[in-house]
Amino acid sequence: MPEPASNPDLLPSLRHLVRGLSAVFWGLPSTLLICVLMAVAEFPRALGCAPPVITTGLLLFGVIELSRYQPEERTWQLALGRAQLLALANFGLSPFVYFWSRQPAEAYYFQVVLALAFTGLLFLCQLNHVLQRLAAMLPDETLRSDTLFFTRLNLTLMALALALVGGYHLLDQLKYLPQGIIEALDLVQAARIRFALVVVLVLLPVSMTMSLVWKTRDVVLGSVFGPRS
């Protein structure tokens, strides 16, 4: 693997890249955890809307830091630009998680939280595209093949999640349905089924994305300091 340290302009760029990957790695689980806790627990609400704003802000900071690496690469910067827009949308909508937790009967807050969930899923999809572009620029064939495989798997799972959620809400609005579909909708209402769907369609893509982010970070650090012993 080539030695990036020989280029003095590349080291500051790699520093921003590592910082951005670290921020994204910690921002993903903390954002998901805080948003869930806001909905089901009381103690995060004592801090107001600060927790979701901080965690989504960490993701926005991470993506902005990533954009300072290879600014001349047009495809890479286009992918990051879309990710930044989605991260900014998440940041702007995040206070409504707190507002909705205080007034769950308010339909407007609920609709905004649904919009946040949608933009959050789109951000995760776009982040996988960003990781694909980054892996294509790094001189590590193993990372490139792993990233291609797992990002495709992640995107498939998240597309399935969007299709299932959209289909469920569409069918739920219809008045006349076959008995088999009604029974299937009732089955989805069961807590265990919903938990299994959340694990497979949300937590699994998040965990695999985190793993790819950390592996990419290790490859970048290894290119500067050498492989870990």
> Mind listing the pLDDT tens digit for each residue in 193-205?
554 556 566 788 9
Helices 95-102 and 10-40 cross at an angle (nearest 10°) of 10
Report the range of poorest mean pLDDT among 73-82, 96-105, 185-194, 215-224. Answer: 185-194
pLDDT of res. 3: 46
Residue of 164 and 120 predicted with greater confidence: 120
Predicted confidence (pLDDT) per residue in 164-192, tens digit: 777 666 666 666 666 666 666 565 555 44
Domain count, the chain: 1
Full-model pTM: 0.83
Find out whether 74 and 137 touch, Cβ atoms under 8 Å. no
Domain that holds residue 20: 4-225
- CA distance readout (Å), 207 to 66, 83, 104: 20, 18, 29
